[in-house]
Chain A
């Protein structure tokens, strides 16, 4: 795979000049995914931050073909693009080898787009779906989603006099994708370019449906200083709040194991969305979050050992 020097010399396929917030993790995801995928790539995006900030007519940040149609259907839309490609290749009308990548935020992937995603994965299209997972509906102003973690303050599960933010744990979409029996599923992170680009390269080398869940800190919704995006991403890995692993043909492999697993409170304390959890009376919530993380991590270690 390419080193950082080589990557930096490539033509930018997701250019600057877009309207993303300072410190936006979604733009980093798009740029690094395309750097790994290369120019022979067709992109479909769900409605959401990434699409909105990158394609304000008559401008575009995309130096590859790009299609956006609606919110809940990036997977179905790219199914159609890929189907046409297959049809043309079979008819001898098209020769070039192409990558097909769909981007969706967690709202467009975990929630409203789950059916479309599931259908596309089951049908076995040769596509890579990248979820830039910032754990809430950021484009509409930080509403809770199925990906929002327990305890987070969002505008539709806010912290109030009796409620302490979101009461449920997030849905485990990565495992739902694994359950589809597709050849490649992984979790990656903003803040580790090597991990993300190598996973994209690996995914694209495999025929069939692929899914990467990229944990993407959002400075606006998570409320932290914009320069901390990558650091918060890395700390999510060090605390095992977001483990890096991949499942290739059903075989689990943890791609990074922290030398010393840090307490989740260290990560929570960096973000305004968890500010209320620092209060002593909310300690049970933090304990609950820690226990949930510990359980998932130990389960993951077992799955890896069994693979």
Chain B
């Protein structure tokens, strides 16, 4: 039986703890609110000699990801953490990390993007880089953030793809919660040693990485990257299965909450899913068949699986904690709609853009969405984009 230590941890502390247990060869990072603590705590582990890691305190997030690319290409297990503008500044290098097929793991604490400048939670930063070729896994709470970090290292290295694990800024990153931490040895065994394929420091076999790829090869390499993302779905599920066997907690591509017999459901990611579960329980107590679908894995997007799970629900709403500023829906709604369309499921799906810049999302707000869905079931109301909780 696996031993767990029940402790009180913030999301940032839980992520830093996972990084200590993973013990990467290199961490290169730059401070940014609300992710600073992750690397700050990690730097103290380095200072105390608790890890073997070479910590590179770079002068920008662009250099953080550049140094991670150098370290990972050289053959090392490599991690970093950032948020918001930091992730935006890294964007160029995120594409290069995935193009070079480097399994870097990045802890991203979701925060709004400027302008106006704001340090609080929404998902704009992660969504901005949703096509960067990184696996993206969202967490509902500190426990999930910890568990996801541990799984991510194995997923990334098996898939030869980089991975972003997110938490919600301040809500998870700074909220103190009950977290079960595993023993160092168990985490070490689970993650396993890094397998070296081709790597730069192999002087017996010098390789050239980052070559100029023209009309004759670029397309094939991008196709291979796309295939790696498609194939990573199985890897994510396999790793979740091993995690369940070893540590006992179940993870999938998404979580269904009271969805089996639901006539109305909300799709929402991150910490808001936790709030929505409370609303679902309240509605269920009143005899309303409410359910919830919480995508955990946003990249690769599990479209067939999600479509299958939503098939029998009469009315579905998406709640997007970011916007595409496009005259179209938010990014999650676009994905969900495409998924249902491809599965020949015709539903009107309202989208609720909410919580931008850390705007509080209250139980009543989520209840109002279920109420709207109830009206749609009764043939009233039409699907549209609603900005929920904004003054206008």
Contact = CB atoms under 8 A, between A and B. Distances in A.
Contact of B54 (A75, A87, A96): A87
Interface stretch (B71-79, B276-284, B352-360): B71-79
Nearest to A96: B203
Q: Interface range on chain B: under 10, 10 to 19, 20 to 34, or 35 or more?
A: 35 or more
Interface stretch (A54-62, A172-180, A231-239): A54-62
Interface string A48-80: 000110011110101111111110110111111
B70 A115 contact: no
Contacts of A84: 25-26, 54, 70-72, 74-76, 78, 201
B202 interface: yes
A56 B217 CA distance: 10
Interface in A122-146: 122-123
Interface in A30-62: 39-40, 42, 44, 51-52, 55-58, 60, 62
Contact of A76 (B67, B74, B212): B67
Interface string B41-83: 0000000000011101111101110111111111110100000
Nearest to A87: B54
Given A69-B70, A87-B54, A116-B66, A79 B28 contact: yes
A65 B206 contact: yes
Given A42-B200, A87-B76, A81 B206 contact: no
Interface stretch (B92-100, B169-177, B231-239, B253-261): B92-100
Interface string B320-351: 00000000000000000000000000000000
B208 interface: yes
A90 interface: yes
Contacts of A42: 74, 200-201
Contacts of B211: 55-58, 60, 68
A230 to B, nearest CB: 27
Nearest to A57: B211
B291 to A, nearest CB: 45
Interface in A178-212: none
Contact of A69 (B52, B56, B69, B76): B69
Interface string B170-210: 00000000000000000000000000000011110011111
Contacts of A51: 210, 212
Nearest to A80: B70
Nearest to B56: A83
B196 to A, nearest CB: 10
A73 B68 CA distance: 12
Interface in A82-104: 82-88, 90-91, 94, 96, 98
A96 B204 CA distance: 11
| Residue with the highest number of chain B CB atoms closer than 10 Å, among A56, A68, A87 | A87
A119 interface: yes
Contacts of B74: 42, 67, 80-81, 84-85
A118 B72 CA distance: 22
A70 B92 contact: yes
B47 to A, nearest CB: 15
B364 interface: no
Contacts of B213: 57
B22 to A, nearest CB: 14
A52 B212 CA distance: 6
Contacts of B214: 56-57
Given A55-B211, A73-B93, A79-B28, A91 B52 contact: yes
B105 to A, nearest CB: 15
A209 B210 CA distance: 24
Contacts of A72: 62
Most B-side CB within 10 Å, residue of A77, A84, A94: A84
Nearest to A42: B200
A69 B201 contact: no
Given A67-B200, A67-B210, A81-B71, A87 B26 contact: yes
B208 A66 contact: yes
Nearest to B24: A87
A60 B68 contact: no
Given A77-B66, A96-B203, A69 B210 contact: yes
Interface residues of A, number: 48
Nearest to B60: A115
B369 to A, nearest CB: 43
Contacts of B71: 80-81, 83-84, 87
A60 B213 CA distance: 12
B56 A67 contact: no
Of B28, B53, B66, B96, the most chain A CB neighbours within 10 A belong to B66
A124 to B, nearest CB: 11
A70 B93 contact: yes
B319 to A, nearest CB: 36
Contacts of B96: 69-70
Contacts of B200: 42, 65, 67, 81
B70 to A, nearest CB: 3
B25 A77 contact: no
A104 to B, nearest CB: 13
Contacts of A120: 63
Contact of B203 (A75, A77, A83, A98): A98
A88 B209 contact: no
Contact of A62 (B28, B67, B78, B206): B206
A241 B262 CA distance: 79
Q: Which of A66, A75, A80, A82 has the most CB of B within 10 A?
A: A80
A20 B52 CA distance: 42
Contact of B63 (A62, A76, A81): A76
A39 B69 CA distance: 23
A8 B209 CA distance: 27
A73 B73 contact: no
A131 B203 CA distance: 24
Contacts of A77: 66-67, 69-70
Interface string B207-231: 1111111100100000000000000
13 contacts: A51-B212, A55-B210, A55-B211, A60-B211, A80-B66, A80-B78, A81-B73, A81-B74, A84-B26, A84-B78, A91-B25, A115-B60, A119-B59
Given A55-B212, A65-B203, A115-B59, 15 more contacts: A58-B217, A66-B208, A69-B93, A70-B96, A80-B73, A84-B70, A84-B71, A84-B78, A87-B25, A87-B76, A91-B25, A94-B201, A116-B63, A118-B59, A120-B63
